[in-house]
Structure 1
Amino acid sequence: MKLITKTDDLAAFCKPLATTEFIAVDTEFMRERTYWPRLCLAQVAGPDEAAAIDTLAEGIDLAPLEELMANQKVLKVFHAARQDIEIFYQRMNQVPQPLFDTQVAAMVCGHGEAASYESLAARLAKAKIDKSSRFTDWSRRPLSERQITYALSDVTHLRVVYEKLKRQLDKTGRFSWISEEMAVLNDPATYRADPDMAWRKLKPRSASPRMLATLREIAAWRERTAQRIDIPRQRLLRDEQLLEIASHAPRSLEELAMTRGLGRGFAEGWQGREILEAIERARQLPDSELPTRDRQSEQLRAPAPVVDLLRTLLRLKADEAGVAARLVASADELDRLAAGRRDIHALRGWRREIFGADAIDLIEGRLALALSGEHARLIPTPTAAA
């Protein structure tokens, strides 16, 4: 068990790792009371050594760790990497590259839709992970021996998982299959929260452009304010309250205070004044600058039987290829395909090869699905023969 609490020890640990082929990385963080995740512990394992780095230790400088994470010559291996990378991106203002996500690789290698680290560790590293410390308070000090042991197990077994998945990808020639998912993880835009786009995650009942403009302004205010004072957005203003305010567009503090659950103190404080200012900005917008809801999904006319057939075909072809179905095509893509859309990932590259081409033939009547015992199979139709 190795816990690093001093900068000199961290520098000494990181120095030899700068020349290794890869490192396994994981983090423990807290964000229940904050907008931004608070990094409490970082675990790193090289080929021969692993350590848990106490990022909250008094006086510790994480520069050696950040330098290692920025080293373009060292591959950083994560499992379900997005939240871990978000933490490093916020600290470093750059994405640690190059990256490898074992969860994505496991889907390509036929280990299920969203293989957990515990299942991969058991299957590939023959290790059993003690989960009892998973939801402990990682910000409390001192850390217990059990916590540190659990944290280190998240990277020591990850080395073995990575090496075995890499061999499977080499053997099957499927490294290129994960490139698209890795590109998303490598894109800094993945980790930037754009306040002006926050409204699109909400589900208003009305599609009135003026109401949507109000919603956009209030949602952006909530996002920026939550970021500035570092509290969860829902603690500042709940979604249902935000939607109600946008729907009624109050003109006074008295009207704002009538929002269910808001409270007069909130309405009459600085928050209430700033919300009214946001509403007024939306009210002053010319019609030409009002937003509209993306109605693409509402315009689709996807016949349910066609969607059902495509879903069955996707499962059949994914099982045959030994790859997770959701990596090949999403439910939204199946809807778009059934509705006649062809601008989807499933019709390009390796996805077209294992699914997309047959999906088009199925839709256009050149292939049919038939039962063979308990299993479905594809058969050519008379149309295809003609």
Structure 2
Amino acid sequence: MPDTDVPRDEIDGAGSRIVQLDRTTGLVRTISGAGQATALVLVRDGGRTAGVVTVDSDSEPASAPRVLALPPAPRRAWDEGAGASLGASVVLCTTGDCELLRSAVEALLAQTHPDFELIVVDNAPATGRTRAALAGLEDARLRIVEQAVPGLSWARNTGVAAARRPVIAFTDDDALVDPGWLVALLDPLASDPDRVIGATTGMVLPAELRYRAQRWFESRGGFPKDDVPRVWTIGPAPRSVRRFGAPGEGGPLYPVTTARVGAGVSMAYRAEALADAGDFDVRLGAGTPTRGGEDLDMFARLLRTGRVIVHTPDAVLHHRHRRTAAGLDAQIRGNGSGMSALIVKSVLERPATLLVLAGRVPGVAARLRPGSERVAGSDDDTPGSLTRSEIRGFLEGPWCYARAARAAKGLR
């Protein structure tokens, strides 16, 4: 939704400026929100992420006590910069109605990576919106391919089929990637001669915190934004990659659900690992009755093949969160239905999953207890209605999955 179309009562009096600080060069870059009372600062030491802190906006970020208290970002166990040696296909799926689409594509074309192609999948080609938004962008690396069947999984699979490089990365039309995003996302893959790493995920930060809904989304956890490397596996990590990061802690339903592993807005896969795991499930994802879960499903399926997923905090992008309370409510409800649909799928395909889930009930109950941050949010004014919407979506999930399965069966 364009800024001019957002009702003024959605504007947040407690909004924050979004800033990047490189302590190596002293450079400060404001992403959005100049003039806000506080600043959310991504602190970097060269290409490495040191942490994310909130400071008073009127102070110099470099001299803020919280910034000074952050220790230097340690050297990574992988070969930093090695990702530039891997050819990559970047897939961006869109219906053409996001005002940020052109900027998202321009940011991708500004990557420091020397050898990549950009595949924009138009998931609403009849409208002509995508081609209109990208008109005049002439770059040999850019291709637009079409998928008329609505649904993010259909679009992702179309992008995978069109990809010509050994690594396939994904991002969204409402995200702005940093210039070094792709190289950093591929660094662990390029430093893994045994090829046990099947995928990587990156850090997702807000592109703006101007509206209440955006702050509330972050208050409830937002996207995964771990500022240290993590290694995700089922079972012990292979010796060759243990040094890449601490083991990930996936929560009470891991690995049935994998929300802490990463998000579809910032992920990359070896093409061979995707082939082993199979297509993105067209019964899941935005544009289907389930409204989500296709990225988490792929993470889980890849892990079950025995491969590893590595999270790197150095692959940074900024995501434009929903600007209105109604938009956020719909997103949260979709998160609930997508999660529930994913669980239903897991139980139907692997009935033993039900026993695993039964043993995790106490952990889930603790996470959802009244007053917990997951339920109430970290900000006092986070609406309780968001939790109710998520629960409503969760209860709808099985029915949504059944509808999506019927629809997909008719299209295959």
Query: Which category describes the TM-score, using the shorter chain as reference length?
Result: under 0.3
Normalised to the residue count of structure 2, the TM-score between the two structures is: 0.20
Greater RCO structure (CA 8 Å; 6+ sep): 2
More strand by share: 2
Question: Larger % of helix: which?
Answer: 1
